[in-house]
Amino acid sequence: MSRLPTTAHLNLDEFELKEYMKFTEFNFNPKVAAGVTAAGYVTPTPIQAKSIPTILEGRDVMGLAQTGTGKTAAFALPILHRLMKGHRGHTRALIVAPTRELAEQIHTAISSLGQATGLRSVTVYGGVSIRPQIARLKQGVEIVVACPGRLLDHIKQKTIDLSRLEVLVLDEADQMFDMGFLPDIRRLLTHLPSQRQTLLFSATMPQEIRRLAKEVLRDPETVQVDLVAPAVTVSHALYPVDEARKTDLLLNLLKNTDTGSVLVFTRTKHRAKRLGEKLGKVGYKAASLQGNLSQNRRQAALEGFRDGSYQILVATDIAARGIDVSQVSHVINFDMPNTPEAYIHRIGRTGRAARSGDAYTLVTTDDRLMERAIERVLGRSIEHRTLDGFAPSASAAPGTEQVHRNSRGCQSTRKREYGNASAGKPTAARSKNPRNRRPSGQSARPVAASTGGQ
């Protein structure tokens, strides 16, 4: 719709000069402010401090921020404030997310922050029956949090009315691109009113997302906070090892490292499943999170990791974004991620809420090019730690190096995870077909947002 303006970059030093700023300065509707107080929010995060005033003005926003920066509340609170005026009983705000876990988390956050508003929110995603969703939509809700595929199903069946939509949020836009959802997003846009406020949030800005932003945003304010930069509270280390010795090295690290909750990433769901089973057999409490699981079992794995029933969660990149996990002490990349951005998303699960965290990556000779790419993004070299008995053989020639490319149709991606606990072993993976991964959820409950730091 219009060109993108120059990015308004807000760095941490700039924000530290504004530490006096409080949530009370936003002058939210008293019922929205009550939710902020109940959540214990006092000082907004950088993305909140920069985005909220602009969103309250009704302007379009493109927010560039990694996970754990508080972006959920950054758009949820202004939406709740806006919807306190005007008619109710029809969909006025639509939030589109790439995964059902993220959709549920956003829904929970809205329901928590908006608990005193009387506004209603519902999740719409695949993998569950569409009938309960239809029933709740008929009851009348003001906010819909949806995944693209199931949302299009509702539009096709005429079970959702978006003709009076006022606000559209595209969350984790780069992840939707990775998962092959952009065609669905473009189809969705043809069913929405042209006169609306649009908010686009993304952790990275590949060219495809930049083009989408130009199409859907009108004279937006671009807010960038720590783009493609991990939390300063995260320590990084690489552990060289032969491919065949990875499992043994992982067990050695777990045995000899003082850990809290641990999130382990693998490249495929089959490897995640096998590794989770292995960890369980040797005595760790593990949970499985993979695309082949039913929604109930997936939710149980996430809840178990969050509440401490499981200490270790093994997952593919399905788990890398959107879950508000402040207690994860270690992220271990059993397999090197496909892109530097994926690395940033993975390690974004630890070192949150000003806590320290550790990111370990098991690397083989095939990972050298990606290792260098990640170091370029970090702006520094990552420490190599070779453990006794695990030094890689010299048989692999440098010429065998290869970059693990991000194949949208292949390794689609991540989801969020809850991290907490002291015992768990998971296995996770994810369907490579975006339509299989898109969800369609349930439960319409009073609006509220769950964490100011999401």
Residue 236, phi then psi, degrees to nearest 5: -115, 145
Domain 8-228+438-446 fold: Rossmann fold (3.40.50)
Looking at 11-25, 105-119, 269-283, 436-450, which range is the least confident one? Answer: 436-450
Taking 60 as the threshold, does the pLDDT of residue 154 lie above it? yes
| pLDDT of res. 323 | 55
Q: What letter does residue 367 receive in the DSSP assignment?
A: G
Identical topology for domains 8-228+438-446 and 234-434: yes
Report the distance separating Cα 70 and Cα 288, nearest Å: 27
Bigger pLDDT: 335 vs 350: 335
Between 446 and 274, the higher pLDDT residue: 274
d(CA 150, CA 148): 6
Looking at the chain, the whole-number percentage of residues with pLDDT higher than 70 is 76
Question: For the chain, which residues make up each domain, given as ranges?
Answer: 8-228+438-446, 234-434
CATH code reported for the domain at 234-434: 3.40.50.300
Which range, 225-234, 362-371, 397-406, is most confident?
Answer: 362-371
Whether pLDDT at 135 is above 60: yes
Hey, what amino acid is at 353?
A
158-173: average pLDDT: 96
Of residues 315 and 152, the one with the higher pLDDT is 152
Pairwise CA distance, residues 392 & 396, whole Å: 9
- Tell me: pLDDT of 342 over 50: yes
- The overall average pLDDT reported for the chain is 79
Give the model confidence (pLDDT) of 167-224 as tens digits. 999 998 888 887 789 899 999 999 999 999 999 998 777 788 888 899 999 999 998 8
pLDDT at residue 321, rounded to an integer: 54
Q: How far is CA 198 from CA 230, 249, 302, in A?
A: 27, 47, 30
pLDDT score of 409 more than 60: no
* pLDDT-derived band at 18, boundaries 50, 70, 90: very low
Distances (CA, A) of 376 to 67, 162, 337, 357, 371: 20, 44, 15, 21, 9
**What's the whole-number mean pLDDT along residues 70-94?**
95
The stretch 344-356 carries a mean pLDDT of 68
The residue whose two tokens read 């030093």 is 13
Q: Model confidence over 410-425: pLDDT tens digits? A: 233 333 322 233 333 3
- 246-249-250-253 Cα dihedral, nearest 10 degrees: -160
CA separation for the pair 58, 429 (Å, rounded): 39
Which range has the top average pLDDT, 66-80, 238-252, 307-321? 238-252
Name which of 3-7, 68-72, 149-153 the model is least confident about. Answer: 3-7
Candidate from 117-131, 266-280, 294-308, 401-415 with smallest mean pLDDT: 401-415
Helix (H, G, I), strand (E, B) or coil at 60: coil
How does residue 449 score in pLDDT terms, banded at 50, 70 and 90?
Answer: very low
At 46, the pLDDT band (50, 70, 90 cuts) reads confident
Phi, psi angle pair for 288, to nearest 5°: -110, 135
Question: How confident is residue 121, by pLDDT bands cut at 50, 70 and 90?
Answer: very high
